[in-house]
Structure 1
Amino acid sequence: MTNPYPQQPHDPYGQGQGTYGPGMPAPYGAQPPGPPPDNNLVWGILTTVLCCLPLGIVSIVKANEVNKLWYQGQYDAAQKAASDAGKWAMWSAIASVAIVVIVFVFVIAAGAISFSTYSTSY
């Protein structure tokens, strides 16, 4: 006959919560150290819709991983996913501002070239 209750994992460091190493969940029954971190999902959606689509999508994917990892007991991985989601959203906003500046400079330069060639050819 097998034991119907799973054994609690051995805590080699005596911490009682957190992770043992990369990808290792917290011990059975361990309480999370607080609420989940901010997943930056709103920023990911806003930058996807208003700014740079590819980078915003990566931000949304990272933001969706945060709560899943947190409730699996992978607190460090959840913190990293939340941080990555914020970074991708920030880079999406920066990329869109850079694109707008480049287009603006191009339009001004094209207008100046067009104006100079038009005024000199009588």
Structure 2
Amino acid sequence: MTQPYQQYPHYGWQPNYGPPPENNLVWAILATVMCCLPLGIVAIVKASQVNSLWFQGFHAEAHRAADEARKWAMWSAIASGILIGLYLVFIVVMFAFVGASFWSLVP
């Protein structure tokens, strides 16, 4: 009696899902350096997970991590813009008060 043909798994072979998604690591690093540090660090962590998840076969999770990295980098830039805007408003208000008090002292 002959043994039926046993098919061995092909280790390391994966179906062609295309290239991995863009990990947005550059945007995450730029957001960390130039914008808001805490949110940028979260973006770097999410961006660093993309390729490892992709090559482990977790394609949906890799896409989700790439989207979250982009989201955190974007929120870092938005938070930085809001803080800079509030700072500029504060400076303008302070100059207005200083100017008003200065001109009230001038005879």
TM-score for the superposition, normalised by structure 1: 0.75
TM-score (norm 2): 0.85
Secondary structure at the aligned position of 1:35 is classed as: coil
Q: Percent identity?
A: 49
Amino acid at match of 1:84: E
Q: Distance in 2 between matches of 1:103 and 1:45?
A: 24
Structure 2: distance between partners of 1:53 and 1:71? 29
SS at match of 1:37: coil
C-alpha displacement at 1:31, in angstroms? 1.6
Correspondence for 2:54? 70
Aligned residue number for residue 39 of structure 2: 55
Partner Cα separation in structure 1 for residue 16 and residue 80 of structure 2: 37
Quote the residue 1:24 is aligned against.
none
Match of 2:30 among 46, 55, 61: 46
The 2-side partners of 1:70 and 1:31 are apart by 12
8 Å CA contact retained: 1:44, 1:63: yes
| C-alpha distance in 2 between matches for 1:71 and 1:30 | 9
- Match of 2:88? 104
Alpha-carbon deviation of 1:32?
4.1
Residue 93 of structure 2 aligns with an amino acid whose one-letter code is: A
Which contiguous aligned blocks of 4+ residues in structure 1 show a shift greater than 6 angstroms?
none
Structure with more helix by fraction: 2
Do the aligned residues in 2 keep the contact of 1:32 with 1:73 (CA within 8 Å)?
no
Partners of 1:105 and 1:47 lie apart in 2 by 23
Stretches of structure 2 lacking an aligned partner (at least 5 in a row): 1-7
Q: Which has the higher contact order (CA 8 A, sep 6+)?
A: 2
CA distance in structure 2 between the aligned counterparts of 1:86 and 1:59, rounded to whole angstroms: 7
> 2:58 corresponds to which letter in structure 1?
Q
Q: Gaps (5+ residues) in structure 1? A: 1-6, 9-27
Q: State the Cα distance separating 1:38 from its structure 2 match.
A: 0.1
Alignment of 1:1-122 (within 5 A): 29-122=13-106
